[in-house]
Structure 1
């Protein structure tokens, strides 16, 4: 709350320091301004100065909070400057000259009046309803405490020239600035003291104390923290302990009965327990700042922090490294993790240069007050001329059309074509290092660790993480229509996967008396990871559970993150029961993968882990499969969902757009590509229009806006070129919108699953046509198949050799064993031949 507005005259600048502690100040433009404006400075422009827009903008850019401008200036400035930065300078007799347009475009008015008539000013305040009203008496009326209170009572603020203010005792012609500040303060306490919140420069509370008029006066005038002890009188903070305070600002609250002191604390801290705050240890950035300041002064020789402070090149490299990591992060957990790292190294740089958080915030505040803005373009060394897909977190304005980026394959360079094929880079080593502590914690701590990590990452406190059959009926209550749809999907998927099962024994007589065989057996124990992030995915439970069931796996453990109430989606539980799951693990992320790989007291250990997931899940799968103690394998590496659509002139724009969006809604990192075969501008425009219209009708439009914003249209001139690009890209899903689409399937060499013709949407494969939707991504379709029944089987070979067969084969084997120097191998044959 502003009590009064001091108008500083050039010969009274010594008052500036004290006045700046208690609120805004006004500086006339007619006088020379200080090189650095105090915080909360209003610049007063009088009627004699010619209007120059650039000068006005420059004042705001250089740190002025507001401009107090005459009507002639205000009429021009309201088109450029926001109302919260502009006050109107007006003679009290000229109110009628103010139009509604001007009145509504300013945040207040400074009235110049020959005498202070409270009734008149009250009526003017109503005219400027919702705005601040400041009153300057000309010729000057001697300022008094009662004048300040009277104006505040009608919602106005006194403007007092600095010649009428003093740091000495109040007199008939001058008012002590502290007397003016405490004029409206009231206390509802019997001892008349004012509750006072003391906080740091960054706004973090240090403690609660009490103030008296005397202590407030001394603080304002000396700039030191002075309070009122209820037992011992005036308390000059740090007088005996050395933990002194410099007062940065003193503010009055909205109903004038308590104070806030913003201070710069020195010494051990504010609290008598030698802590920064009476409310406990500092946290977050203030705690980090304290730690770094301490280490800057006394970090052990050779320690990492000491190296950072004394090796500018190392610190520079770490800042650039962590900035790059943050730019590549693409989910909340990763972004928070990388931002914390970047803040640590950035603040280390600041502390080494004597810059604290309060100075950073002051710089942010100053930048926020600027009227002119930079273009925001990156400097040349940070921008790329080549057109690789935009970063994973492309920002698209909400009112902008939702559209893809276009490239012509005929004109792009080899490097540019390679960039179009590239997916967002997953730094496997770094992610594995991040998940390793999580995996080790579960491995060592079992159920207790799993419960702790579930509370930490899934934000759910559970008593147990495992559900065992028979599953409670109330956990599987689904809408009858959903249940019927799941049953149809189950029948189709099971029928297709049963046909894939290898139930026969392959027998070949390679030479007389030598018979070789191969037969299949189910993998005994499998873990199925069903994501539970931005969408409920019972379809994934179907796609993984059915082939496991068909293959005859003995134990099927489904892992999926719990909901906020600790339960599992009833649709997923319904499928778990349908596929005969032996357990449901209520956990997600790396901790779930670790529990499946190593087992816990309640979670069965599995032999192979299936299922898609985020970077944490993928990294954990890669980590455990390489640990010989885990003895577990995985289905395939996994990345963000992707679709590539090939379309020619016969394609229906609405169908193409719908197929692109069906994949784009999975997440902001989804990969969506349209390969346009000789499409004219009109056809492409129709597709882009459909994408925009359909996207805005989706509930997940915010996700789609980002994923489509970084997706690409690749223009080609022939079907053959389209498939060459597609095979190089190796998409998870390939959709063919071409004339005679069925005949073009022969061109497909690399793809997870193919959808042929206008009536084969990718959604059908995702849910119920019968094929599996757990497919290779990130280009791994070049070497991996999608999940199928045989993914849940292992093949065993055998051979049976007769005596006659060994007589013919044995010499060949013995000769090769001798060649390799493996005498025992040769002996195993010869001893039989001799017999």
Structure 2
């Protein structure tokens, strides 16, 4: 039983500490904000019952859902009782039926004031159910009240406004004090026996805790105990064998504690072993051995061969699985299962997955309310199996691939506003997911970077960085590809070189007062080039060339490695062309973190550029807001998008091709066609071309989904069409118009404009000369695409002569006096007096 349950309505600074000591409750309205963080969800009385929503929460990992009586009556029988808690006003207890009472595992009582006698009687009515008490008054319950509730086995629910990391007062309770309120000690010294176990639950040792040590452990997340001889004992403070707290639990009698920890260093015991009781055996010992072998396997050892030969490992896993299936005697089953576990764990460790992650996955599966059919795939069975029932709507491959059509003339303001919306980007949710990855790289540098690269990119590296000169064999290309890259390089270089700000702006604002501004390159930049199985030399060109032109001294190109640890030769060749100072073989949030904070081998950069998936985007947004990183980013990013404006002169096949060139990027790609007085026949021709061309594409399944979410907007004039486009602010704007060049002057918001029927967006993506790293999601209202000046910063300068100061100084002193800044005024007046004395 928990000492108390916190009720949080946002991701407060308390939450990390609170989750170390038990579950937390959040309201249904904030469940998205706290996804994966809160264990219980509270539904209030005003919300309409939704069984599917409850199931989705539980399937997503929520421990319990707290539902009002009206919901309980409808969903009991469909949800396991142990996953439901009844929300009940204390005055309505008599309305609860036996069916409801037996269909929940507990009750959360809302009461204006805590009446122990009343709560005791209600507890008897709900025999066997957990009783949770939420006082709805404005005053904070006292620690004495919390202790009194514990005597009747009731758990207080405390809103976050009553909890603090600071000292306990009459209006707030320190969360450690709240946790310890129900803890009792039967020892003369008042200490609590504490069992310390590792992340798999295996005992490491027995220690003692005090209120002070528990408080520090909860607040810091580090293992802190109470030595009976030496006082407060911060584990690992001198040895380096520190502990990160996973959780702190009370035992059933509330007189002992368990600390579940991640143990670092040699181990918990002073004898430099993992456990004070015995060396770990079984699966935890195997995990430790394999992790050691992954880093330091003896040359020629069998385990090393398995790590280096994925095909051999795959064959052994399948062989051992077959032998386990054939085994019948208990001893044979145990023998073959042990073999299978060994090879399976080799696979896991090579991918950066440990027992803790496996157990987390098992726990998550156990929490699911809905279940898969559980049938075997056809290649593993000779018996006919029932077809699984899909929860997704079936995709009709014969259905027309077409867009939705809207007429601006008849659209209401609300409908027009909806046309401008993009899919909701859950940036807060993604940032919370990437934060642990970023923190790992920040804290552990190269070690974490190599582990995460093994886990996410499936590549085992000895070093994450390649330094120039790059080996010729890493840049071997077909002549046609090399020539295409060279020509694209020349075009992009020519356009970006013309953008460089190399002069000094000088303005004499008044006689003797000269102000100037000049540009300097950003010294260190990081360029993220998506990769892995894909080959994206175009992005390396688009980012590397302006960095080269601007004169950046250090250019780090980050790109995910391929499975064999190499980087695509096209990207290496471009890195060579642009004079990159390092290639970071890493992708995702871990690459962004390495460049933002620096590691032992990765240089820290001052600004990070480049597109990427939602993990990369979230990591960029996270590090730019961390003052410790002192790094900026190019722009926010979202799914790729295009808006095409077409009139009667447009070629339907050209228009369709342009729309599809963006639709194939991903299911979230945004594709909009604005037709200027297009006839029904013309629109039908374009739709027919979209369907025909889409079916010939290798990514037709992606296109089918993105096109279905895309729109055709009917406009009556070019002016109306461009006004809509400016409101939409597209990443790419293509003008299929009779007077396309004349229309450009009307454009105020767009990442890049493509003028005329023979200017496909693809040319801008690769080789025309403009940059393809552009603002999306409507950010073209505020941001420019990447350009040479993105890699420069501007410094202002002023020089004032004595005569100039005589004119300017009194103005400055008057304004400084007005603001009450005497020292500012004095800095001027002391000089004015000197000038006057020189004239005397």
Shorter chain as normaliser: what TM range? 0.5 to 0.7
C-alpha distance 440-687 of structure 1, shift in aligned 2 (>3 A)? same
Give the corresponding residue for 1:726.
725
Q: Distance in 2 between matches of 1:309 and 1:531?
A: 35
Q: Distance in 2 between matches of 1:325 and 1:364?
A: 19
Note the C-alpha offset of 1:369: 12
Give the corresponding residue for 1:618.
617
Q: Distance in 1 between matches of 2:677 and 2:580?
A: 50
C-alpha distance 514-360 of structure 1, shift in aligned 2 (>3 A)? closer
Alignment of 1:21-40 (within 5 A): none
C-alpha distance 530-812 of structure 1, shift in aligned 2 (>3 A)? same
Give the corresponding residue for 1:424.
423
Give the corresponding residue for 2:758.
759
Q: Distance in 2 between matches of 1:714 and 1:568?
A: 43
Preserved contact between residue 410 and residue 716 of structure 1 (Cα < 8 Å): yes
1:831 matched to 2:830: yes
Give the corresponding residue for 1:696.
695
Give the corresponding residue for 1:801.
800
Give the corresponding residue for 1:630.
629
> Is the partner of 1:510 in helix, strand or coil?
strand
Give the corresponding residue for 2:61.
341
Alignment of 1:169-188 (within 5 A): none
Note the C-alpha offset of 1:396: 3.8
C-alpha distance 443-578 of structure 1, shift in aligned 2 (>3 A)? same
Give the corresponding residue for 1:596.
595
Deviation track 1:795-832 (CA, whole Å, cap 9, x = no partner) reads 11111111111111111111111111110011111101
Q: Distance in 2 between matches of 1:564 and 1:405?
A: 41
> Is the partner of 1:461 in helix, strand or coil?
coil
Give the corresponding residue for 1:552.
551
Give the corresponding residue for 1:495.
494
Note the C-alpha offset of 1:516: 0.7
Note the C-alpha offset of 1:741: 0.7
1:401 matched to 2:400: yes
Q: Distance in 2 between matches of 1:321 and 1:777?
A: 37
1:523 matched to 2:522: yes
Give the corresponding residue for 1:742.
741
1:540 matched to 2:260: no
> Is the partner of 2:422 in helix, strand or coil?
coil
Give the corresponding residue for 2:582.
583
Q: Distance in 1 between matches of 2:674 and 2:22?
A: 56
Q: Which moved more, 1:501-510 or 1:530-539?
A: 530-539
Segments of structure 1 that go 5 or more residues without pairing to the other structure are 1-298, 328-337, 377-392
C-alpha distance 741-516 of structure 1, shift in aligned 2 (>3 A)? same
Note the C-alpha offset of 1:427: 2.1
Give the corresponding residue for 2:441.
442
Q: Distance in 2 between matches of 1:316 and 1:476?
A: 64
Deviation track 1:432-474 (CA, whole Å, cap 9, x = no partner) reads 1111111111100100111111122222222221111111111
Q: Distance in 1 between matches of 2:40 and 2:485?
A: 63
Q: Which moved more, 1:549-558 or 1:449-458?
A: 449-458
Preserved contact between residue 309 and residue 349 of structure 1 (Cα < 8 Å): no
TM-score, structure 1 normalization: 0.57
Deviation track 1:304-341 (CA, whole Å, cap 9, x = no partner) reads 489999976379999989969989xxxxxxxxxx9643
Give the corresponding residue for 2:99.
none
TM-score, structure 2 normalization: 0.56
C-alpha distance 315-462 of structure 1, shift in aligned 2 (>3 A)? farther
Preserved contact between residue 525 and residue 552 of structure 2 (Cα < 8 Å): yes
Q: Distance in 1 between matches of 2:779 and 2:20?
A: 48
C-alpha distance 515-458 of structure 1, shift in aligned 2 (>3 A)? same
Q: Distance in 2 between matches of 1:614 and 1:318?
A: 36
Deviation track 1:113-145 (CA, whole Å, cap 9, x = no partner) reads xxxxxxxxxxxxxxxxxxxxxxxxxxxxxxxxx
Q: Distance in 2 between matches of 1:566 and 1:317?
A: 52
> Is the partner of 1:622 in helix, strand or coil?
helix
Preserved contact between residue 529 and residue 559 of structure 1 (Cα < 8 Å): yes
Give the corresponding residue for 1:650.
649
> Is the partner of 1:520 in helix, strand or coil?
strand
Give the corresponding residue for 1:190.
none
Deviation track 1:555-598 (CA, whole Å, cap 9, x = no partner) reads 00011111222211111111111111111111111111100000
Preserved contact between residue 673 and residue 712 of structure 1 (Cα < 8 Å): yes
C-alpha distance 309-641 of structure 1, shift in aligned 2 (>3 A)? closer
Segments of structure 2 that go 5 or more residues without pairing to the other structure are 1-18, 28-37, 66-77, 85-102, 106-365, 376-383, 835-840
Q: Distance in 1 between matches of 2:559 and 2:786?
A: 18
Alignment of 1:474-493 (within 5 A): 474-493=473-492
Match of 1:313 among 43, 49, 57: 43
Preserved contact between residue 599 and residue 605 of structure 1 (Cα < 8 Å): yes
Note the C-alpha offset of 1:398: 2.3
Give the corresponding residue for 2:810.
811
Note the C-alpha offset of 1:397: 2.5
Q: Which moved more, 1:748-757 or 1:704-713?
A: 704-713
Preserved contact between residue 735 and residue 756 of structure 2 (Cα < 8 Å): yes
Give the corresponding residue for 2:325.
none
C-alpha distance 516-319 of structure 1, shift in aligned 2 (>3 A)? farther
Q: Distance in 2 between matches of 1:626 and 1:325?
A: 36
Give the corresponding residue for 2:672.
673
Deviation track 1:212-233 (CA, whole Å, cap 9, x = no partner) reads xxxxxxxxxxxxxxxxxxxxxx
Cα RMSD of the aligned pairs, angstroms, is 3.6
Preserved contact between residue 315 and residue 349 of structure 1 (Cα < 8 Å): no
Note the C-alpha offset of 1:697: 1.1
Preserved contact between residue 309 and residue 315 of structure 1 (Cα < 8 Å): no
Preserved contact between residue 420 and residue 728 of structure 2 (Cα < 8 Å): yes
C-alpha distance 488-361 of structure 1, shift in aligned 2 (>3 A)? closer
Preserved contact between residue 648 and residue 677 of structure 2 (Cα < 8 Å): yes
Preserved contact between residue 514 and residue 799 of structure 2 (Cα < 8 Å): yes
Preserved contact between residue 534 and residue 667 of structure 1 (Cα < 8 Å): no
Note the C-alpha offset of 1:342: 6.5
Deviation track 1:722-775 (CA, whole Å, cap 9, x = no partner) reads 111100000000000011111111110100000000011001111111111100
Deviation above 3 Å: which 4+ runs of structure 1?
A: 299-312, 314-327, 338-365, 368-371, 393-396
Preserved contact between residue 678 and residue 718 of structure 1 (Cα < 8 Å): yes
Q: Distance in 2 between matches of 1:586 and 1:613?
A: 15
Aligned length: 507
Give the corresponding residue for 2:35.
none
Q: Distance in 2 between matches of 1:433 and 1:683?
A: 47
Q: Distance in 1 between matches of 2:799 and 2:722?
A: 47
> Is the partner of 2:527 in helix, strand or coil?
strand
> Is the partner of 1:341 in helix, strand or coil?
coil
> Is the partner of 2:649 in helix, strand or coil?
coil
Q: Distance in 2 between matches of 1:306 and 1:715?
A: 45
Q: Distance in 1 between matches of 2:825 and 2:104?
A: 77
C-alpha distance 651-313 of structure 1, shift in aligned 2 (>3 A)? same
C-alpha distance 362-473 of structure 1, shift in aligned 2 (>3 A)? closer
C-alpha distance 568-354 of structure 1, shift in aligned 2 (>3 A)? farther
Give the corresponding residue for 1:781.
780
C-alpha distance 548-358 of structure 1, shift in aligned 2 (>3 A)? closer
Give the corresponding residue for 2:295.
none
Q: Distance in 2 between matches of 1:468 and 1:315?
A: 62
Preserved contact between residue 638 and residue 776 of structure 1 (Cα < 8 Å): yes
Give the corresponding residue for 2:220.
none
Preserved contact between residue 514 and residue 800 of structure 2 (Cα < 8 Å): yes
Preserved contact between residue 765 and residue 772 of structure 1 (Cα < 8 Å): yes
Q: Distance in 2 between matches of 1:599 and 1:449?
A: 12
Q: Distance in 1 between matches of 2:700 and 2:693?
A: 9
Q: Distance in 2 between matches of 1:326 and 1:533?
A: 33
1:505 matched to 2:504: yes
C-alpha distance 344-589 of structure 1, shift in aligned 2 (>3 A)? farther
> Is the partner of 2:656 in helix, strand or coil?
helix
